[in-house]
Structure 1
C-alpha cells in the first residue's frame, strides 16, 4: 500500500538522514559516524538520565576516589585525575548490578551512555574537591603542624584550626558559585569556537565505545585487565604490609641504588599506585622529574649541606632559615618561571585563535548563527546536527546563571570573612569580580591544549592578598583563603566545560549534566571534610603535614612557603638564597623558550628537552616518587615496543587498576591500625659495618665446650 501524502511516519525523515549518513560514511564523503550506531536508541529525557542508582553509586565511588586522591596528595604531593577510573568503575558497577537483577528475573532500566556520563560527572565533581578543596594544599597549609614544619612558630594569626563545619560552609559557598561562573559560555566554547577539550573528548570516546556493539568486546577486555590490575595491586600492598613492623621497615625503604643514595632518599619504594601514575603521565614529564631528582640528590643538596655554618646555621632540615630556605624557594621559583612562560604562551595562542574565529564567524560584519538557519549549518555532519540539536534545546537560561553567581558572591562576601577573620568583605568581593574573567581565560586555554592554569592564578592570589593584608593582620591565612576561592572557581569552571564536551559528544542533556554537577558538588562538600577528618583521627592531627612523616603533604608545605614569602618577604631566607631563586627562575624560563623554539622548528631534540615544571617537583618532594613514576614510563615504553596494539588499548586501564588497588588497601590498613594490629615482621637494611656492630652488641656470643 502506498503511503498517504501528508501522513509520513514521524521518524521517516530522521531515518532517511541516518541512511544518508551511513552511505556517506561508506562512500568516504564524511568521516565514519558515531551517532549512526545509536540511531535506533534515542537519548532518554534528562530526568531519566539522572537516576537514583547513579546517585547511589556516585556516593560510594566518590567517597572511595576522594579517599585515594587525598591519600596520594598527602603522601606524594600529586593530584591524580580519576576521570577514566570513574567511567570504568561506573560502567562496571551498574552493568554488574543490572545483570545480577536480570538473573533473578527483575527488570531494570537500561544502562545508557547518558547515564554513564552523568555518573562519571557526579563522581568527578565529588572527588576533585579533595584537591580543589585544599585538603592537601592551602587548607592544610593553615594548620599549626605545617606552619612548624615550614619553620614558623605555629601560633597567632598565621595559623587556623580547621573545624569541619566551617570547612563545609566555605566549600559550599565557593564551589556552587563556580558552577554558574562560565555556564553561559558553553555554546560559545563548544559550538562557536569548537574547542576540543581533549580530556572531555577522550572520556566521550571511551563511553561511546562501551555502549556500542562494536565496542563491547573492547570494553570487556578493558574491564578484565583493570580487574586483574586492581587485585594484583591490592595483594602486593597487603604483602608489603607484612614486613613493615617497625620504623623504617619494609619494601618502601629498599636501598636499590645503595645506602649512600638511600640517605639522599634516592630509592625505589615499590609503590604500585605511583607506577600507575607514571604510566598515565607523559614519558617526558616522568623522566624530567627523574633528571631533577638526580641533580638535586647527588649534586645540589650535598653542595648546600657542605655550606652549613657559612651560609646558614640552623640545623633543622625543614626550617626556612636552614637548608629548606634554599629548597622550597628554588622549587617555587622554577614553578613560577615555567608558569609565567606558559601563561604568556597560552594567552597569545588563545588571543590569536579567538581573533581568527571571530574573523571567520563575522567576515562581512554579520554574525553567522549556530542555530541551524545558516548555509554553514547545513554543511554540518550528521553527528554535529544531532548533537547541536540537543545541546542547544536544553539547559539553563543565561540570566539564571548570572543571577546564581551574583547571589553566591554576595553571600560569600558576608560569610567567608566570618570563617576566616583575617579577610574582609572587600577582599572576597574583589576575588569574585575578577574570577569570571580568569575563569574564561583558563577555560578557553584548557579547551585549546588541555592545560589548566587554575593553580597559577591561585598562587598569584596568595601573593596579592597576603601582601595587601600584611603580616601583622594574618596575611598568610588571608592569602591562603584567597587562593582557595580562586582555585575552586577557576578550576571547577574548566572542569565543567570538559564535562559539557563529554555530554555534547554523547548526546547527554546539558541540564542533566548541570544537575549531576550540583549533586556531585553537594556530595563532595560533605564527603571530603569527613574523609579528611578520618585521616586526622587515624594518623593523628599532629602528623598530617609533618616534615619527614608518611603524610608530609609536600604541596601544603609549598603553599605555606608562598604564604610566608608573601607577608615576610625575603628577610628570613639564608645567604645567597635569592640569587639561587633568580638563577633557577631564569633557567626554567629559558628552558621553556628553548623547548618552544625546538618544537616550532621541528628539531629532533625537542622530544628530549626536560620539562621545567617537572624538574621543579623534586625540589619540594622526595626523589623516590620520581623513580617510581619513571619506572611506570619505562614499563609502558617496553610494552608498546613489544605489543603496541594491546598497550594502546589497555595501558590506561591497567594503570588505573594499579592506582585503585593500592589505594583500596588504605581501607583495611586503616582498620588494622584502629584495632592496633601490628605487622609481624620488620625488614630493614644495614651496612656491613652496622651489621658487625649489631652482632657484637646485641647477639649472644656462641661458646663451644670441649
Structure 2
C-alpha cells in the first residue's frame, strides 16, 4: 500500500520551507490529520493498478490465443481502458464507508498496517502517544512485529536534540538511498547485464554454455528488491526463497526432463514455468480457503447472536405480563447498547444518503462500463451486477481478515468468483476472467481504504475528508494508471522478460481450466500434495497461534507462509534472491535493538531504495520510448535473458 512511505514523503515535502527557506515560501506546518488525508489520497491512487487488474486480468486477456481460447487476444485502447477503470474505480470506496462503523468503531479490529502508519505519523509530528496501541503487538503480513515504532532514525531511542522526531541523519539516509537506487536503475538501462548478472553461469564459462540462464537463474541486484525485503521481513523472504528453490531447482527440472512440460522453460503455457504455476495456484487456494473459513464462521455467528439478542429484547419489551418478565425487561433496559457510540460528529462523517446513492451509481457505472468495453462477447450485464453483489459479500470477509491478520485474501476472493461464473457463464473465458476481476476490485479497494480509515480513527482525522481524498485519488488514478500502462506496453512486451506479470497467467490458466480446459500432465498429484500440506499448515496456524504455551506459539510462528511460498514459484529466482538479502538485513538490524523490532531507520532506507528505482524507471521508460539503446550489451550472451533482452 505504501502508506508508510506516503506519510513519510508527505511530511518531508512540507518540511522543505523550513529546511530551504530561500527556495520555498514559508507555510504553516503540516498537521497529523492533514498527513492522514495525504497518505489516504496516495493509497487510493496507488491501489488502482491492482484493483483494475492492470497487472492481472488486463494482461491475461491479451494473452489469449485462437488455438486455445477460440478467439483473438483482447487489447484495450486507451479510451476503453479508461472506461474499464472508471467501471471499477468507485464501488469499493463506497463499500468501505459503511464497514468502518462495524469493524473499526464496534469491533475495534487492529488493522496492523493502518495502526503502524498512525504510529509513524504521530512520531513524525511529535503528537501525543496514541492510546491503546503503543504497547500492542501488531503483526504484519511480512511476519514482522511493530510493538513500538522507534523514536528516532539515527539508531538510538532518545528523541533528537533538535526537537524533530526524525534527525538530519535520517533524512540524509533517505536521500542517499533514493540516489543509490536510482543510479543503479539508470545503469541497468545503459548496461542491461547489471540487472541480470550471470553469477550462476560462471562455472559453465569454459564450456561456452549458459545452463543456469536457460533455467532462468540469474541475479538481479536491485536495491528496490532489497528494500522490499527489509519491509517484508525475514520470515516471509525465507518462505519465498524456499518456494523458489523447490519450484525452480526441483519441480521445474523434473517437469522438463520428464516430458511433462516440453516447451521453453519460461513458457506459461507448455513450459516448466506454466507447469509449476498450477502447484502454486493449489497452494494459494488451499491457504486462502482455510484462512477464510474461521473468519466466515465467526462473522456468521456474530450476526446470528446479534439477531437473537435483538429478538429477545423485542419480546421482553412487548410482552411484560409478569413481575419476573418486568424485572427481566428492566435488566435489558439497563444493558449497554450493542453498538459502540460514534466518536465523530455528523458533520465529519459521510452521510448515509451519499453511500446509498454512491453504491447504486457506481454499480450502474460498473455494469454499463463493462458492457461497453467488452460487449456481448464478454460478460452479460446481469452477470456483472451479480459480480458486484458477490464483491460486497466477499469484501466483508476480506476486510475482517485484513483487520485481524493484515492479509487481504483478494486472490482467493477472485478465484471463488471464477468458480461461480464457470457455472453461470460456462465456456466463456473472457466472462470468467472479468467476473473474478470485478469481485477482486471491490474487495481490494475496500480493504486498502479501510486501513486508511483505521489510521484516521486513531489520529482523529475527519472520515469525510478521507472520503474526499479517496474519491480524488481514485479518479486521478484512472487516467494516471491507464496512461502509465499504455506507455509501458508501447515500449515493453507484457508479459515479457522485464515484466512477467505472473498473476496474469494464474487468472487465464484457471479460467481455461474451468471452461473445458485440462491440466498439464502429471501435475495433479503435486497439486494435491502441496495443497494438502499447506492446508494442514494453515489449520495449525489457526488452532495453535494463540496457544498460551510460548514454545508452541514460537514453533507455529516459524511455519512457512503459503502465499509467500507460492510467490516463489510464480516469479523467476532473481525476484526472490535479492529480497532475501533485504530480509536478512531486517533480521540483523532487529537483533541490535532493545525491542527486537526492525528500526525505523532501516524502514526509511528501504523506502528510499523502493522509491528511487520506481521514480528513475520512468526515465528508463522515456529513453526506451524515444529509441535509445543500451551503451553496451557485454555479458548478455552469457546472462541469457532477464533485463538484457530489453536493451539488447
Normalising to structure 1: TM-score of the pair? 0.74
1:619 corresponds to 2:569: yes
Instruction: Label 1:436 to 1:312 Cα distance change in 2 as closer, same or farther (>3 A).
Output: closer
For residue 407 of structure 1, the aligned residue among 352, 361, 377 is 361
Cα separation, 1, equivalents of 2:636 and 2:371: 52
Contact 1:158 1:476 in 2 (8 A): no
Cα separation, 1, equivalents of 2:520 and 2:613: 40
1:132 corresponds to 2:100: no
For residue 241 of structure 2, the aligned residue among 290, 298, 303 is 290
For residue 401 of structure 2, the aligned residue among 436, 441, 445 is 445
Q: Structure 1 residue 320: deviation in Å?
A: 3.3
Q: Structure 1 residue 333: deviation in Å?
A: 0.9
1:252 corresponds to 2:164: no
What aligned pairs does 1:501-650 form with structure 2 within 5 A after superposition?
A: 501-539=454-492, 543-546=493-496, 549-570=497-518, 573-599=519-545, 600=547, 602-603=551-552, 604-642=554-592, 647-650=598-601
| SS state at 1:217 partner | coil
1:43 match: none
Contact 1:181 1:402 in 2 (8 A): no
Cα separation, 1, equivalents of 2:103 and 2:542: 26
2:440 match: 487
Structure 1, unmatched stretches of 5+, are 1-80, 378-387, 691-706
2:15 match: 95
Cα separation, 2, equivalents of 1:118 and 1:211: 14
Cα separation, 2, equivalents of 1:453 and 1:556: 17
1:196 corresponds to 2:113: no
Structure 1 residues 657-682: Cα deviation after superposition (integer angstroms, max 9, x where no partner): 11111222212222332343333333
Q: Structure 1 residue 157: deviation in Å?
A: 4.1
Structure 1 residues 365-395: Cα deviation after superposition (integer angstroms, max 9, x where no partner): 4563599xxxx98xxxxxxxxxx64365521
Cα separation, 2, equivalents of 1:242 and 1:463: 46
Instruction: Label 1:498 to 1:481 Cα distance change in 2 as closer, same or farther (>3 A).
Output: same
Q: Structure 1 residue 467: deviation in Å?
A: 4.2
For residue 681 of structure 1, the aligned residue among 610, 624, 632 is 632
Instruction: Label 1:329 to 1:354 Cα distance change in 2 as closer, same or farther (>3 A).
Output: same
Contact 1:463 1:562 in 2 (8 A): no
For residue 79 of structure 2, the aligned residue among 165, 176, 188 is 165
Contact 1:204 1:503 in 2 (8 A): yes
Structure 1 residues 135-171: Cα deviation after superposition (integer angstroms, max 9, x where no partner): 110111111xx235xxx64875463221221222222
Cα separation, 2, equivalents of 1:686 and 1:181: 52
| SS state at 2:336 partner | coil
| SS state at 1:253 partner | coil
For residue 425 of structure 2, the aligned residue among 463, 466, 469 is 469
For residue 416 of structure 2, the aligned residue among 460, 475, 482 is 460
Cα separation, 1, equivalents of 2:212 and 2:261: 24
Q: Structure 1 residue 554: deviation in Å?
A: 1.3
For residue 219 of structure 1, the aligned residue among 166, 176, 180 is 166
Contact 1:420 1:478 in 2 (8 A): no
1:332 corresponds to 2:309: no
1:429 match: 385
Range 530-539 or range 155-164, more displaced? 155-164
Instruction: Label 1:493 to 1:623 Cα distance change in 2 as closer, same or farther (>3 A).
Output: same
Q: Structure 1 residue 527: deviation in Å?
A: 0.7
Q: Structure 1 residue 317: deviation in Å?
A: 5.0
Instruction: Label 1:170 to 1:450 Cα distance change in 2 as closer, same or farther (>3 A).
Output: same
Contact 1:283 1:633 in 2 (8 A): yes
Greater C-alpha Rg: 1
Cα separation, 1, equivalents of 2:560 and 2:600: 27
Q: Structure 1 residue 291: deviation in Å?
A: 0.9
Cα separation, 2, equivalents of 1:518 and 1:622: 36
Instruction: Label 1:534 to 1:98 Cα distance change in 2 as closer, same or farther (>3 A).
Output: farther
Cα separation, 1, equivalents of 2:95 and 2:32: 27
1:478 corresponds to 2:431: yes
Q: Structure 1 residue 95: deviation in Å?
A: 2.2
What aligned pairs does 1:681-700 form with structure 2 within 5 A after superposition?
A: 681-684=632-635
Q: Structure 1 residue 637: deviation in Å?
A: 1.6
1:346 match: 295
Contact 1:255 1:685 in 2 (8 A): no
Q: Structure 1 residue 217: deviation in Å?
A: 2.8
1:111 corresponds to 2:30: yes
1:662 match: 613
Normalising to structure 2: TM-score of the pair? 0.81
Contact 1:467 1:567 in 2 (8 A): no
Q: Structure 1 residue 325: deviation in Å?
A: 5.1
Structure 1 residues 295-353: Cα deviation after superposition (integer angstroms, max 9, x where no partner): 22332222222212xx5655675263454552222111111111111111333455567
Q: Structure 1 residue 98: deviation in Å?
A: 6.4
1:368 corresponds to 2:336: yes
Cα separation, 2, equivalents of 1:153 and 1:319: 15
Cα separation, 1, equivalents of 2:95 and 2:298: 23
1:228 match: 176
Cα separation, 2, equivalents of 1:133 and 1:561: 19
Instruction: Label 1:333 to 1:365 Cα distance change in 2 as closer, same or farther (>3 A).
Output: farther
Q: Structure 1 residue 99: deviation in Å?
A: 5.6
1:36 match: none
Cα separation, 2, equivalents of 1:225 and 1:551: 29
Contact 2:17 2:27 in 1 (8 A): no
Q: Structure 1 residue 177: deviation in Å?
A: 2.0
Give the aligned CA root-mean-square deviation in angstroms.
Answer: 3.1
Cα separation, 1, equivalents of 2:636 and 2:381: 56
- Count of residues in Structure 1 that have an aligned counterpart in Structure 2: 572
